[in-house]
Amino acid sequence: MNRKEPSWLKNAVFYQIYPQSFCDSNGDGIGDIQGIISKLDYIKDTGFNAIWLNPIYESPFKDAGYDVSDYYKVAPRYGTNEDLRQLFAEAKKRGIRVILDIVAGHTSTEHEWFKASCKAEKNKYSNYYIWNEDWLDDSDGLNMINGYAERNGNFAINFFSTQPALNYGFADPDPRKKWQLPTDHPDVQAVGEELRKLMEFWLQQGCDGFRVDLAPSLIKKDKGRKAVIQFWQKFRKIFDEKYPEAALIAEWSYAPQALKAGFHIDFMIFCGTSAYTSLFRNEPERDMFQYIPKKVFYEIDGYDYELKNQNSFFDRGGHGDINQFMTTYLRHYQETKENGYIAMVSSNHDMPRINDNRNALDLELIFAFIMTMPGTPFIYYGDEIGMRNIKGLVSVEGGYTRTQARTPMQWDTTANAGFSTAPASKLYLPIDPDEARPNVQSMLADDNSLLNRFKNILKIRKAHESLQADGDFEFIPVTNAANVLAFIRKSANEKLLMLFAPGADGGEFSFKLDTAQTPTAIRAVNMELSCRDGIATCKTSNSGYGIFKI
């Protein structure tokens, strides 16, 4: 390993908390920081040692807090800065790291910088955002809003119309368009300084790093993302020198670039439908891209909108094809393994939950996969108990189709599933109306529940050096069976074999395995393995998986 990194990342297992929906301590119907603090023991006991918190800053919440109006202040509905410091401290006591979400690319239209920038009179903030010079100018390919301000011009946005893009400059400004400032322009550098300042502010308050929203979007007209890579490399230098234990996690969705830019981790999510999506969601009705505007920020290698096989690998039908994922994954893994980690997520606040018509066994296989792959696992709150997508909800806070995956956490069988004491009509979003909805309390009491199975898988991960983020990974191609997955994880002192055969019908498959005796099962579900003359044969019934010691 030739990288420097925060020492805790090697063993980190993240829990993602969407604060609105996690736990409401004051009965106003919206989750808050004291609510999160009250659940830290649950988080620790489940086996997580890190938290990613979606944005908690002051905001008009047109995009669930990804539209910040004050980066230095916790939104009053979640509590105070003091509450957040208390969360950092309480988490630390339990060995849990807390990562904040930094919305680096844009603010809310309600931010004071933007309000000043809208003014006709030139001021310090005029160039903090991207404005063209005249309201009749063309936009040069950017998404622009016109008719908003007294200022004679239109402003660029990154996502919704309420999210004006901060001005980090243009890598290749058009000399005829004076409003396209180069990246070394002092006004643009000042925006970078603001970002550095606010990140340092939160590190000094006790947070352990950041997930950076839309990290590659900052610099415009940046072919190959070269300029934005350099931009982030500077941040990494500051982090390495001043905050060596702070983690930088990108929402870049293209690890080869993100890790080169200096991020320690990048999510493997929107890397083309043939990669991550093909694992769990490769079906037309599970189109995770449906919320993304046609104009996507990432014009990079890896995008492939063509569905080659419409069955996802982990579907019970067993008709998926692991090569759809592996082809991209192996390329990214080989290219990045010396520089950082690829994060494997169960779901997140932008995509449908993993439990879309799945049973506990289906989900167990998925969790075992996520927890035995290299890199860093991220579990979205509620996935560990199998919370469902609640279809057909009216959009809240700019969620649109994403709203289905943002409903309140289900803690117990009391009113509002223990999420809040507010009247049901006041809740941020309704609770899953299914009376048989899963909840933490009942699941903890049942040894065979999904939650307890999840905890056991996590215990296995923790107990094995080779399963940590940087344990070696070797994919074993299984000839003539694209619907099974075999791989090895290896560290200095151990070698584990992982087998996954999703498919209600079960079956038999063989592959080459260089071992004198049949590996011993650490955990095998609906699976039997035998080895002879360098060939391993695996029999499965009703979807199986196994973790074996070679």
Instruction: Kindly list the distances between the CA atom of residue 2 and the CA atoms of 5, 262, 336, 465, 470, in Å, as whole numbers in the listed order.
Output: 10, 13, 11, 19, 12
Q: With contact defined as beta carbons under 8 Å apart, do 135 and 248 qualify?
A: no
Smallest separation, CB 288 to ligand NOJ (Å)? 12
Q: Which is nearer to ligand NOJ, 406 or 437 (CB)?
A: 406
Q: Which is nearer to ligand NOJ, 159 or 380 (CB)?
A: 159
Structure tokens at 65: 């807090």
CB atoms within 10 A of CB 515: 13
Q: With contact defined as beta carbons under 8 Å apart, do 468 and 10 qualify?
A: yes
Smallest separation, CB 394 to ligand NOJ (Å)? 18
Smallest separation, CB 261 to ligand NOJ (Å)? 17
Q: Which is nearer to ligand NOJ, 314 or 380 (CB)?
A: 380
Smallest separation, CB 129 to ligand NOJ (Å)? 15
Q: Which is nearer to ligand NOJ, 212 or 513 (CB)?
A: 212
CA–CA dist 135, 258 (Å, integer) = 35
3-state secondary structure of 203: helix
Those residues whose C-beta lies under 8 Å from the C-beta of residue 95, and which sit 6 or more positions away, are: 44, 49
At 42, phi and psi to the nearest 5?
Answer: -60, -45
CA–CA dist 498, 545 (Å, integer) = 7
At 450, phi and psi to the nearest 5?
Answer: -55, -45
Q: Which is nearer to ligand NOJ, 25 or 403 (CB)?
A: 403
Structure tokens at 209: 């790093």
Q: Which is nearer to ligand NOJ, 269 or 550 (CB)?
A: 269
Structure tokens at 174: 């058009």
DSSP string, 27-46: SSSS--HHHHHHTHHHHHHH
Q: Which is nearer to ligand NOJ, 105 or 408 (CB)?
A: 105
CA–CA dist 231, 98 (Å, integer) = 24
Q: Which is nearer to ligand NOJ, 24 or 213 (CB)?
A: 213
Smallest separation, CB 217 to ligand NOJ (Å)? 9
Smallest separation, CB 347 to ligand NOJ (Å)? 12
Where do contacts with ligand NOJ occur on this chain (CB under 6 A)? 63, 66, 103, 159, 213-214, 251, 349-350
Name the packing angle between helices 186-205 and 226-242 (round to 10°). Answer: 40
Smallest separation, CB 406 to ligand NOJ (Å)? 10
Structure tokens at 139: 């936009």
Between the two ends of the chain, the Cα-to-Cα distance in Å is 24
Q: With contact defined as beta carbons under 8 Å apart, do 500 and 368 qualify?
A: yes
Smallest separation, CB 128 to ligand NOJ (Å)? 17
3-state secondary structure of 412: coil
Q: Which is nearer to ligand NOJ, 217 or 323 (CB)?
A: 217
Those residues whose C-beta lies under 8 Å from the C-beta of residue 357, and which sit 6 or more positions away, are: none
Smallest separation, CB 57 to ligand NOJ (Å)? 12
Smallest separation, CB 213 to ligand NOJ (Å)? 5
Smallest separation, CB 455 to ligand NOJ (Å)? 27
At 367, phi and psi to the nearest 5?
Answer: -65, -40
Q: Which is nearer to ligand NOJ, 222 or 397 (CB)?
A: 397
What is the identity of the amino acid at 252? W
Q: With contact defined as beta carbons under 8 Å apart, do 483 and 321 qualify?
A: yes
Q: Which is nearer to ligand NOJ, 215 or 259 (CB)?
A: 215
